[in-house]
Amino acid sequence: MDKRIILIFAVVVLGLIAAGTASGVLINLVFPEIPYNYTSYVTLPAHSQNEESFVGYYKINGTGNDFKFKIVLPGAENNEDPLCYTASGLNGTGKLDYININYNTVAAVANKNLTRAVFATPMNGTFNIQCAAWTGYGNFSNNGTYFAGKFKIDGPVTDFKGSFQFVPDGKRIKILTDYVYYPHLQDQLAKNVTNTFYM
């Protein structure tokens, strides 16, 4: 085969790949088949002298739009009510209803900046969570500049509902939460709380 034909073919293929990457079309077609696995740390700082801070880890793994996650805070089970937290941690499943892997996503991954990749990728989805004796659910949405969501937790003694926002904070992610908690099924007794957590 003539080298010029190979070169022209290569240029056409690279052009298609570049166009697909820029628009996200090709990558978004392949994404449903891509497995992923990520583990990092999580910190829950004490908000008063009477509270303990906890450090643990989280894992996210999945294939394409479906994922599972787990958050474990070793030692927290020794200080928490077994209805609220056990050594098995918080477990959840989720689904990405929409994701647009774009040029900014690919560039951030190429530079090994996973935090930037997450924030540069428009997406939305839902999740379910379970920990000890409580269950919950929620949703999240990222338009590429604002990444937030809502959640509801139903516990045997206490219920929670509120919102959260993910904010880049250097190499970590800050989670700003604003929620209410109240005795199970008695939302008229709700008390408001704002907290910050780190991943």
pLDDT digit string (tens) for 145-162? 899 999 998 999 989 999
Q: What is the pLDDT of residue 40?
A: 83
Contact 64, 34 (CB under 8 A): yes
Kindly indicate the confidence band of residue 12, based on its pLDDT and cuts at 50, 70 and 90: very low
Q: What is the pLDDT of residue 130?
A: 93
pLDDT at position 180 = 93
Structure-model confidence comparison of residues 99 and 137, the more confident one: 137
DSSP string covering the chain: --HHHHHHHHHHHHHHHHHHHHHSHHHHHHGGG-EEEEEEEEEE--SSTTS--EEEEEEEEEETTEEEEEEE-TTGGGTS-TTT--TT-EEEEEEEEEE---HHHHHHHHTT-HHHHHHHS-EEEEEEEEETTEEEEEEEEE-SS-EEEEEEEE-SSEEEEEEEEEEEETTEEEEEEEEEEEETT-GGG-EEEEEEEE-
pLDDT for residue 48: 73
77 CB neighbour count, 10 Å cutoff: 17
Burial class (CB in 10 A: 0-12, 13-18, 19+), 36: exposed
- The domain limits of the chain are 1-33, 35-198
In CATH terms, 35-198 corresponds, of 2.60.120, 1.10.238, 2.40.128, 1.10.8, to 2.40.128
pTM confidence score = 0.80
Mean pLDDT value across the chain: 80
